[in-house]
Chain A
Amino acid sequence: MALYVLRRLGFLVLTLLITSIIVFLVTRWLPGDVARVILGREAGEEALEALREELGLNDPLYVQYGRWLRDFVVGDWGDSFSTGSRIRPLVMGRVRNSLRLALMTLLISVPLAVALGVIAGLNEDTWIDNLISVTSLSVVGLPEFVTALILIQIFAFGLDLLPASSSVPPDVSFIEALPKLILPALTATLVLLAYVARLTRAGVIEELEKSYVRTATLKGLPYRTVVFKHVLRNALMPTITVVAISFGWLISGLVVVENVYNYPGLGRLLVFAIDRNDLPVIQAVIMVTVVGFASANLVADLLYGLLNPRISLGE
């Protein structure tokens, strides 16, 4: 297992290096001169040249990349072009918010989706299965802004239970932010729900057909033991992997949800930065996102390894 972890970590570092090169190059190749972006259209050639020299833009590309990477790793992410503030605290605040929303979403969606998937799988092709499948699939067909509006209509305006806007000031605690997290998390849940439930259902059905289930049943074990101890242990492996990977998406991919609810997460920051051509912020957000994705993948792999004796015993 140690070797497996080491190998996965190696892959993680490699992934990050490659994406960092891509991010760096793409932002360098974007049309527009960085110096001109900073100084504005009226700046003279001399001032531009001085700034280029100061920013190191005249150095060879690999030197620039090395410097950029070093700065990034030690935490010097530079200043925002558009607001002039330091980037790191700005991005890290958003990361915290995004993590909260992602966590909340998983807390709601995973138990719900897994339970629905297992129930559907155990009752394959009965009315229960059909009901679950049809409902979850029809929900996933709706775009997030539509489900969000419906949820706001019901829970905020109709029942007056939860706030319609989720804009949270920086520095509030998780508990304080909780009520504002529920609606965005529910919206994201509806996106994930059908996917995870279908996958779980397929896993359960596949495992139920295997011969070892017959062996377990013919031991005379109670049905719940057969299901919980024998079937689910194997059936949930793909689900666990997918849930862990979707964590990456939850951190950065909730652009629409964050916008509808006015929630200050990474997605909104990215949209904001792109609007203003704010390259350093874009770079930082993307790098953080990549780290998030890669870590989620790592966790998925490790969980899978832990559950699969073939890997956890190091073969």
Chain B
Amino acid sequence: MTNMAGSDNGYILEIEHLTVGYQQAGAWREAVRHVSLEIPKGQTCGLVGESGSGKTTLALATMRYLPQEGTVCQGAIRFRGENLLQLKDAEMRRIWGSEMTMVPQDALASLNPSLTLGEQVAELLRHQAGLSESDAGDRTLALFEQVQLGDVERVSDSYPYQLSGGMLQRVLTAMAISTEPSLLVLDEPTSSLDVTTQAVMLDLFRELIGGQQQTAVLYITHNLGVVAQIADRVAVMYAGDLVEDAPTLELYRQPLHPYTQGLLDCVPRLGENKAEVNLRPIEGHIPSLQDLPTGCIFRPRCPLATDVCREYPPLYQAGDGRRSRCHRWEEIKDGEVSPSQPVPEGAKIPPPSAAEQDVLDIEGAEVHFSEGRSLVDMVAGKRPRKVRAVDGVSLEVGRGRTVGLVGESGSGKTTLARAVVGLAERTGGTIKLFDKELPPGLRGRTADMFCCLQIVFQNPAETLNPYLSVGQILRRPLKRLRDQTPPEGGDGGIDEAVTELLEAVHLSREYAKRLPGQLSGGEKQRVAIARAFAPRPDLLIADEPVTSLDVSVQASILNLFNELQAEHQIGTLFISHDLAVVGYLADVVAVIYLGQLMEVSDAGSIFDPPHHPYTEALLSSVPLIDPEGQQEAIRLEGEVRSPSKEITGCPFHTRCPRFIGDICVEQVPPWREISQPGQDVDKRVFCHIPEEELREKQRRAFKFSE
């Protein structure tokens, strides 16, 4: 009977008042609370949230595949009218893989390392579709064809470690669509991919989903751009609550929950720069599940919180097909109040004065290293393969300026940073700190050089010693600094200096006593930044410092960088794979590919054509945080080439969408100065195509909706 109801109303998935809890270390935590969500066939529902929002728990519960310590304590999950929670495992095994499939996040880990990819798909077809050995093999190849995996037979015979993450993600996608399921759950399927690969995968998902009108899709992601580009409807989760649910267009036009607005306000959009726009971070942090605020759980961070918010809000019906868990949604809708966070003080940065002196001067830097050879290879006289991780990079960082370095994984951006710091030995060129040349490795660098040059790493959890308190971590560099140059007139003790540092990164003095394990990701990164600033450096290297952070935290860290830099006038080399972040924070943007720079431009004009074709492709690949935003799709074929292969001509010629012929293969391109009529721009592009031609080709390529 329930079955009938399910097929009648057209809903494939109906989640009703679902509450899922975990028993962890003796404590009970509810990761998902009272969530109701329906997806009809043919619809793609995006599920957005930061870490700890419960989105993955919800996805796993939907698949009825919760870890052992997880329990559904309330609610129902109806799949085509049937409550999955009442099914036995054996019955689930009939549904899994045939009617309900999932594309997981980490493709490499999600495939069996010792079975061929073909077999991993074919086994599903044999089991669920009842195909014979040879039919399953043929069908697998056809599916690989469908997800645009080039040489399908080779892929079929390959093992996971032999292919790139993007290709493995295609295999998993082929697997998930192979049985034409009614429900397809995609759990952050592009999060670990490069932006160019992500764009290709999103195109593919759109095409596949469009071709399966009978399928309901649940697309989970933390990326507001991805969801804008792919979902028909978006549900937003916060700390286990579903806070808003609306058709995509309406959600982005007018969010009716302050948290949604906060998310949209705190992400830098492609094309924005700190000179014009301020990021508005969401104050505070995501509450821990054991210690939820009473009433509305967003209340402590909400700019609109009033007395009514002490009451836990229901999920209000906020107009046609919209829901919001905010007491004040009507006022927001009518424009009486604005849920936008106030612009933080001091975030507005005066444009840096023209750089009078370069802090860092990189001239033709090379980092080549040989791949390891075995004893046998050496006896056989095999020459070691040269890896050109950084291949002739020249770049300057001026005092008080931020140079952003963007590139895909494997582009050599981190190696360049390591070469500056001395962790990767430079094999050619020079790197000067002010006028002093830095020795290639750590050996021979003076204490002064170490002091002047500080680094902030990507993962603060791994760079802070877990056994030292925050105070001890900060005291160490301070003490070394004092030992070298005792402060004139004794301007306070070290403890005061620690407090000052903590205040500079907006942490209270009590944090000095805490251990890194007691801090959140954002707080750890603040401590890491404070530590880097402690010796009063002249140059800061920041290697993907916000990549591992949630967007609401990312914004406040970016503002912090701005603030500290303006105050101390230090030069920063800021490395990131995120063009929007780099374009926002930097004064100068450098684009790197296979160890060579492709384009160097001031940040104001990096988004205006003409571009280097690689920059153009990168820009085109960024999913715009705007469902109406359109860009010409310029997609890169294939993968980043291994830097150990010999490169001739332009390193980008193997993938270049604007490839013009033999000249690209045979000759090293010139650096072309780009001018902009009526503007004072400083931009150069490493390409054979003349400026005017590039301008002509790229004229129509970019149009932002705003």
Q: Which A residues are closer than 8 A to B by beta carbons?
A: 3, 6-7, 10, 210-212, 214-223, 225, 229-230, 233-234, 307-310, 313
A222 touches B93 (CB 8 A): yes
Additional A-B contact list (20), CB under 8 Å, known A229-B115, A230-B112, A310-B159? A211-B104, A211-B109, A215-B110, A215-B120, A215-B172, A216-B112, A218-B63, A218-B65, A218-B96, A218-B97, A219-B96, A219-B127, A219-B175, A220-B94, A220-B97, A221-B93, A221-B97, A221-B127, A222-B93, A225-B123
Contacts of B104 in A (CB 8 A): 211, 214-215
Interface flag for B114 (CB, 8 Å): yes
Contacts of B172 in A (CB 8 A): 215
- State in angstroms the CA–CA spacing of A225 and B127 once bound together: 11
Contacts of B128 in A (CB 8 A): 219-220
- State in angstroms the CA–CA spacing of A212 and B108 once bound together: 9
B63 touches A233 (CB 8 A): no
Q: Which residue of B lies closest to A215 (CB)?
A: B110
Interface size on B, residues (CB 8 A): 34
- State in angstroms the CA–CA spacing of A222 and B89 once bound together: 10
- State in angstroms the CA–CA spacing of A233 and B120 once bound together: 14
Contacts of A220 in B (CB 8 A): 92-98, 124, 127-128
- State in angstroms the CA–CA spacing of A82 and B104 once bound together: 71
CB<8 Å pairs between A and B, sample of 6: A3-B376, A7-B374, A212-B110, A221-B97, A230-B115, A234-B113
Chain B 399-428 interface mask (CB, 8 Å, partner A; 1/0): 000000000000000000000000000000
A309 touches B376 (CB 8 A): no
Q: Which B residues are closer than 8 A to A by beta carbons?
A: 63, 65, 89, 92-98, 101-102, 104, 106, 109-115, 120, 123-124, 127-128, 159, 161-162, 172, 175, 374-376
Contacts of A214 in B (CB 8 A): 65, 104, 110
Given contacts A211-B106, A220-B95, contact A233 B375 (CB under 8 A): no
Interface centre among B95, B110, B375, by most A CB within 10 Å? B110
Contacts of B123 in A (CB 8 A): 219, 221, 225, 229
B63 touches A212 (CB 8 A): no
- State in angstroms the CA–CA spacing of A230 and B113 once bound together: 9
CB < 8 Å neighbour of A218 from B101, B114, B376: B101
Contacts of A230 in B (CB 8 A): 112, 115
Rounded to whole Å, the gap between the CB of A239 and the closest CB of chain B is 14
Rounded to whole Å, the gap between the CB of B703 and the closest CB of chain A is 40
Rounded to whole Å, the gap between the CB of B96 and the closest CB of chain A is 4
Contacts of B376 in A (CB 8 A): 3, 6-7, 10
Q: Which residue of B lies closest to A222 (CB)?
A: B93
Contacts of B95 in A (CB 8 A): 220
Contacts of B115 in A (CB 8 A): 229-230, 233
Contacts of B93 in A (CB 8 A): 220-222
B65 touches A217 (CB 8 A): yes
Q: Which residue of B lies closest to A310 (CB)?
A: B161
Contacts of A6 in B (CB 8 A): 376
Q: Which residue of A lies closest to B121 (CB)?
A: A219
Q: Which residue of A lies closest to B178 (CB)?
A: A219
Contacts of A211 in B (CB 8 A): 104, 106, 109-110
Q: Which residue of A lies closest to B99 (CB)?
A: A220
Contacts of B124 in A (CB 8 A): 219-221
Rounded to whole Å, the gap between the CB of A131 and the closest CB of chain B is 20
Q: Which residue of A lies closest to B119 (CB)?
A: A229
Rounded to whole Å, the gap between the CB of A315 and the closest CB of chain B is 8
Rounded to whole Å, the gap between the CB of A169 and the closest CB of chain B is 47
Rounded to whole Å, the gap between the CB of A216 and the closest CB of chain B is 7
Given contacts A10-B376, A219-B96, contact A309 B110 (CB under 8 A): no
Contacts of A210 in B (CB 8 A): 109
- State in angstroms the CA–CA spacing of A215 and B185 once bound together: 12
Contacts of A3 in B (CB 8 A): 376
Rounded to whole Å, the gap between the CB of A36 and the closest CB of chain B is 44
Rounded to whole Å, the gap between the CB of B62 and the closest CB of chain A is 11
B97 touches A219 (CB 8 A): yes
B127 touches A234 (CB 8 A): no
Contacts of A219 in B (CB 8 A): 96-97, 123-124, 127-128, 175
Contacts of A215 in B (CB 8 A): 104, 110-112, 120, 172, 175
Given contacts A211-B106, A221-B93, A221-B127, contact A309 B159 (CB under 8 A): yes
Contacts of B65 in A (CB 8 A): 214, 217-218
Q: Which residue of B lies closest to A209 (CB)?
A: B67
- State in angstroms the CA–CA spacing of A6 and B101 once bound together: 45
A234 touches B114 (CB 8 A): yes
Rounded to whole Å, the gap between the CB of A230 and the closest CB of chain B is 5
Contacts of A212 in B (CB 8 A): 109-113
- State in angstroms the CA–CA spacing of A313 and B157 once bound together: 11
- State in angstroms the CA–CA spacing of A214 and B110 once bound together: 8
- State in angstroms the CA–CA spacing of A217 and B110 once bound together: 11
Contacts of B89 in A (CB 8 A): 223
Contacts of B120 in A (CB 8 A): 215
CB < 8 Å neighbour of B114 from A10, A222, A309: A309
Contacts of A216 in B (CB 8 A): 112
A313 touches B159 (CB 8 A): yes
Contacts of B112 in A (CB 8 A): 212, 215-216, 230, 233-234
Rounded to whole Å, the gap between the CB of B139 and the closest CB of chain A is 15
Rounded to whole Å, the gap between the CB of B325 and the closest CB of chain A is 31
Contacts of A221 in B (CB 8 A): 93, 97, 123-124, 127
- State in angstroms the CA–CA spacing of A223 and B89 once bound together: 10
Rounded to whole Å, the gap between the CB of A311 and the closest CB of chain B is 11
Contacts of A308 in B (CB 8 A): 114
- State in angstroms the CA–CA spacing of A307 and B114 once bound together: 8
Rounded to whole Å, the gap between the CB of A310 and the closest CB of chain B is 6
Rounded to whole Å, the gap between the CB of A271 and the closest CB of chain B is 38
Contacts of A309 in B (CB 8 A): 113-114, 159, 161
Rounded to whole Å, the gap between the CB of B556 and the closest CB of chain A is 32
- 9 tightest Cβ-Cβ pairs between the two chains A and B: A220-B97, A220-B96, A219-B97, A211-B109, A211-B110, A309-B159, A220-B93, A219-B124, A212-B112
